[in-house]
Amino acid sequence: MHIKRIQFTVIAGLLLLLLVLPQLALADGPSISTVIPLDETYDGATIRWTTNTSSDSLVRYGTSKPPVQEKSDSTLVTTHSITLTGLSPGTTYYFEVESTDAFGTTTNNNSGAYYEFTTLSLPSTVYNITLRPDCGVCGFLLPAGVCGEVITATVLVGTSGTYYISWDSLTNVLVKFTAPVPGAYEVTFFLPQATKGFHNVYLVDAAYAQKGPSATFEVKPSATIAPETGPVGTNITLNGYGFVAGQQIQVEFKGAVIQTTTASAVGNWTVSYTIPPTPAGGYTFDIYAMEGQLRASRVSKYFKVTPRITVAPGSGTVGQTIEIAGTGFASKEKDVEITFDGKVLKEIAYAEENGSWNVVIAVPPVQKGSHIIDASGASTRARDVPNVEFVVNPGILVEPISANVSDTITVKGGGFALGETGIRIYFDGIDVTPTSITANMTGCWESTFALPTSTYGSHTVSASGDITQPAVTKTVNTQARILDIGPVEGAPGDSISLHGDGFHGSQRLTVSVGGVPASGGMPSQPNGNIDISFRVPKGSVEGQQTVVVTDEGGASDSIAFTVTEKTLSIIPLPISPKDSTLRSGMVTFRWQGTTGGTGYNYTLEVSGEESNWPKSIAESTYSLTKDEALPKGTYHWRVKIVDDYGNEGPWSESIEFRVSPIPTWVWVVVGLVVLVVLLVVAYRETKFRVTE
């Protein structure tokens, strides 16, 4: 029984040892084996080894011991392979390998002797050149003719010496290098400015003889834009590279061709353009290389339009009007606000379709010095709009800027000294300060005065204080005004009185009623007041009309007036002809009219079988001329009075008369009788003379 227990213990210990020993071995790192250098070439070799667990790979190598150069691979594998490049031909290299797994790191350096391999010797006749990359774009120019694109050339030379890398011809040298020994070299150079397509790159010696086959590099078209972002009005420059020589280039912005140009002999071109009013956002400049009327290729460049405001002028006084213009806002953007030191000063409905807006504001009463003007909208944030600094100098704001005599004028001062006293307001140099004025602790103040009696136009409002000297000024415009008219209605010829103020001083006035001029050369008073009388002019149209008063300087105002109708009370009394028969058509009409007055005319109306006409007569009698003679017939006539303003009286009663001329045969008989009588008288006279 005791023996069985001992056997069990021994067996259990052996099993435990079998489980622990592998773990103890793994704790020191992977086991490296089968280290072999393979595939030695002129400039490289491949190192391979195996491990018992998955681990990474690292090779330390060099031409001396211990090696100091490294190349690694973090991939966890059991079969390891590291390829070394850029080595010198015909040279012995020493190396060691190293792998690391989850339990540790193992280095195999061939027991301190290091592994080794020798690269192949390069024959003196071997030359080669390869490019990395082998295609690209110019991108941008460094100095003229040199692009910013860097190309790496890997060259093999069989002999030491001086070499060149040339472009498109053996003598067009890009870079020079010296090979102290045969081998592989990496040489970098900048891509030269060149046309679109494939170009040959040569390795040549000091005598410009080609060494080995050439490499090719493909140039592709490209463009640059500078700047890439900015507000409306930014002048951008587009440069194109790598296009076909002499090729027509079309540049489009927002779907419209903005410029056409031609690529140069080296495939480059330049276009300048000023960003027009455009809503905020990103836009592309589309560049087309044309082949006849067809678009062969396209290059696009991005430009971002940003919001901006401008303020003109950049400094001023309180109350001065300044113009603020915004561009690069959203199309038809709503709720655009202009702020002055963060406070909303003006709100406009919305921007225009092109994202622009314009507004004129008055500088508010603020302390003198620098202030910030900004703007924002429904979609444009204030922080995206660059602030504009505005410098405020002492000044005043006058409201309103146009007013009538006796209107209240408000004057707001700003930019004065803090707490300044002795502030006075003057109108055309006359003190109109109602009470003492003291500026507050921001240098601002406010007061009012009644606009004094003054002539039409601009007048100076100024203010000064104990410290603010000389006075700061602003202007206010006095407007012409008709105060009253009396009576408020009347007929042509009626006398009307009219009063007003604010006209030019001592100037001739013209008055019209419903557009019909009234007579008179009425002047305004020297102080611009008017106190005139005029008569409602002839021809004024009955009803509601407008009386307009204008002076020689153009100051004008109007007032409502009603033109009424007037009927004269005088009725002329017809005298002759009256119920009579007249033998002649050249009739003389007589009537009884007014006596002892002027300013009246008469309207005579004769109607009959062949006559119906009115006629204006100045006197109370009228005789028809031969051309107006009435033919035989029965007629009626009447008359009415009309004054110089066109007011009329009632017609008189209508009087009948007849025209009945003597028949012609009667006149013939009378003529014959007269002739016979004359003959008899002549005979008797002759007979008596003969007898005597």
DSSP string, 514-545: TTEEPP--PBPPTTS-EEEEEEPPTTPPSEEE
Burial zone of 169 (CB within 10 Å; 0-12 exposed, 13-18 middle, 19+ buried)? exposed
Nearest Cα residue to 231 out of 285, 284, 287, 274: 274
Looking at the structure, tell me whether residues 33 and 112 fall in a common domain: yes
Mean pLDDT, rounded, for 182-190: 92
Last residue of a domain, one of 456, 478, 500: 478
Looking at the structure, tell me whether residues 175 and 208 fall in a common domain: yes
- pLDDT at residue number 692: 46
Question: Residue 383 carries which DSSP code?
Answer: G
pTM of the model: 0.56
Looking at the structure, tell me whether residues 249 and 293 fall in a common domain: yes
Mean pLDDT, rounded, for 360-381: 91
Nearest Cα residue to 413 out of 313, 320, 311, 312: 320
Looking at the structure, tell me whether residues 108 and 181 fall in a common domain: no
Residue 554 within any structural domain of the chain = yes
Is the separation of the CB atoms in 489 and 559 below 8 Å?
Answer: no
Per-residue pLDDT tens digits for 85-138: 888 888 999 999 999 999 999 999 999 999 999 998 877 778 999 999 999 999
Last residue of a domain, one of 189, 220, 251: 220
Per-residue pLDDT tens digits for 555-587: 999 999 999 999 998 999 999 999 888 988 899
Cα-based angle 612, 618, 622 (whole degrees, multiple of 5): 55
Average pLDDT of the chain to the nearest whole number:
90
Residue 448 within any structural domain of the chain = yes
Residue 43 within any structural domain of the chain = yes
Per-residue pLDDT tens digits for 247-303: 999 999 999 999 999 999 999 999 999 999 999 999 999 999 998 888 888 999 999
Q: CATH no. for residue 324?
A: 2.60.40.1930
**Confidence bin at 664 (pLDDT 50/70/90):** low
User: Sign of dihedral through CA atoms 389, 391, 396, 401?
Assistant: negative
Per-residue pLDDT tens digits for 407-446: 999 999 999 998 999 999 999 999 999 999 999 998 999 9
Looking at the structure, tell me whether residues 200 and 228 fall in a common domain: no
Looking at the structure, tell me whether residues 139 and 173 fall in a common domain: yes
Residue 12 within any structural domain of the chain = no
Residue 352 within any structural domain of the chain = yes
- Specify the number of domains making up the chain: 8
- In this structure, the number of other CB atoms found within 10 A of the CB of residue 604 comes to 18
Looking at the structure, tell me whether residues 233 and 274 fall in a common domain: yes
Q: CATH no. for residue 637?
A: 2.60.40.10
Residue 336 within any structural domain of the chain = yes
Nearest Cα residue to 425 out of 393, 469, 473, 467: 473
Compute the CA torsion angle 199, 202, 207, 212 (nearest 10 deg): -140
Question: Residue 644 carries which DSSP code?
Answer: T
Looking at the structure, tell me whether residues 317 and 363 fall in a common domain: yes
Cα-based angle 26, 30, 36 (whole degrees, multiple of 5): 155
User: Sign of dihedral through CA atoms 70, 71, 75, 76?
Assistant: negative
Per-residue pLDDT tens digits for 199-238: 999 999 999 999 999 999 999 999 999 999 999 999 999 9
SS3 state at 421: coil
- Write out the two tokens for 155: 């060259």
E strand intervals along 524-654: 530-535, 543-551, 556-563, 573-576, 581-582, 588-592, 600-608, 612-617, 621-623, 633-643
Q: How many residues does the chain have?
A: 692
Per-residue pLDDT tens digits for 337-362: 999 999 998 888 789 999 999 999 98
Looking at the structure, tell me whether residues 313 and 345 fall in a common domain: yes
Last residue of a domain, one of 366, 393, 420: 393
Characterize the bridge pairing of strands 457-464 and 472-478: antiparallel
Task: Check whether 80 has a pLDDT greater than 60.
Answer: yes
Residue 4 within any structural domain of the chain = no
Q: Which residues pair with 104 in a beta bridge?
A: 101
Task: Check whether 4 has a pLDDT greater than 60.
Answer: no
Is the separation of the CB atoms in 685 and 529 below 8 Å?
Answer: no
Looking at the structure, tell me whether residues 598 and 620 fall in a common domain: yes
Looking at the structure, tell me whether residues 615 and 581 fall in a common domain: yes
Looking at the structure, tell me whether residues 399 and 388 fall in a common domain: no
| Cα distances (angstroms) measured from residue 411 to each of 51, 317, 367, 468 | 96, 13, 16, 16
Residue 15 within any structural domain of the chain = no
358: containing domain: 308-393
